Amino acid sequence: MRSVSIIGGGLSKFGERWDKSFRDLVVEAGTAAVIDAGIEGREIQAIYGGCMSSGRLVGQEHVGALFADFLGLNPIPATRCEAACASGGVALRAGYLAVASGMYDVVAVGGVEKMTDFDSADVAIALGGAGDMEHELFFGATFPALYALMARRHMLEYGTTEEMMASCSVKNHKNAVHNPYAQYHNEITIEDVMNSGYIASPLKLLDCSPITDGAAAVILCASEKAKKFRKDPVEIIASSQASDTISLSNRHCMTELHATKVAAADAYRRANLKPSDIDVAEVHDCFSIAEIMAIEDLGFFDKGKGGPASLEGLTALNSEISINTSGGLKATGHPVGATGIKQAVEIMWQLQGKADKRQVKDAEIGMTHNVGGSGATAVVNIYKRL
């Protein structure tokens, strides 16, 4: 297996992009990534694209072909990857494996979702398909409800409080103020979160990531050729994926995502690293409790200690471990097919020292953690500057 590096990345602006169509977002992010990589389109040999619900929401299937068409990359092969909210992470891993295997030298990987043009009930049904439709959504168990169950169990077993969960949202909004691509640029307080109204107790409105339009893209290249294109490529030194039961009711534990733990352990083994070696991580904070469980399952804090660590500021920028410097899903936004790629772009910028006011000092090793559904899929990647 060959070493693989990111040589370019690009984002669309995230948010309520009523001025842009689904394909416009693809072109906005894809073009930015190609320009950043300093390559010509003819050098790209394949495309992998993450997208979850374009058929239901915008009536567009056959998304891989659309990517190739509107990015001017025909006739190269283009493949859509779907794994709910981990669609982007799975697409990134597919592109990584394609280059690592020697099949291709340069591939484009993207992710996109157009979500805000539709009634929130329709979006909720579309997102519900990320879980067990027959045994969960049909009985009224939306995703906020499923994560609320996890939060309640975490509170019962470890004494986690609503204020601890709120602190994750506060920190992520503070980081997003300095991210020009983020959906939100307003700081909030714990009091704001506590007064924002329950969606599914104990999760309140400001504990939840928003509905978002957006796209993200990266260009992957065999590391041995990466410096032909730029001086500061970022190497993917480990990529791992794991699965768990799609239904929350069949899990052996309600206070962890087992797929995250398995994927993380494999990634650390492949990279010959341990959690304390990670300088900056983008983790999947679809809900504030999800961030707390993630930083525990990834090994940054012991189980049950993620809540206190968040409230004490240990996950703030340039603290013990810098978590979600982009603003996370909560404040940057969560266009579900794009999120896993957006995370990789943020880590690329951090390791290149290009994150401006949200820059982690002397960042050398980064991680991304992308989750599908309530934890049935988890993708963990580890990165370093080449």
334 is catalytic: yes
Q: Element (H or E) spanning 329, and its range?
A: helix 328-332
Given the residues 173, 284, 334, 369, select the one marked as catalytic.
334
Catalytic-labelled residue, pool 81, 85, 168, 221: 85
Nearest-CA neighbor of 4 among 68, 98, 124, 144?
Answer: 98
Are residues 319 and 312 in contact, defined by beta-carbon separation less than 8 angstroms? no
In a 13 Å sphere around the CA of 314, the CA atoms on its Cβ side amount to 15
Short-list 385, 381, 352, CA closest to 271: 381
Q: Where are the alpha helices (DSSP H) in the chain?
A: 22-37, 54-58, 63-70, 87-100, 120-128, 143-158, 162-176, 190-194, 223-226, 258-271, 288-297, 306-311, 328-332, 339-352
Provide CB contacts within 8 A for 253, sequence distance 6+.
none
Torsions phi, psi for 148 (to 5 deg): -65, -35
Radius of gyration of the chain (CA): 19
| Residue 18: CA count within 13 A, CB half-sphere | 3
Name the DSSP class of 104. -
Question: Rounded to an integer, what distance in angstroms lies between the CA atom of residue 277 and that of residue 129?
Answer: 36
328 contacts 283 by C-beta, under 8 angstroms? yes
Structure tokens at 192: 């704001």
Q: Which residues are catalytic?
A: 85, 334
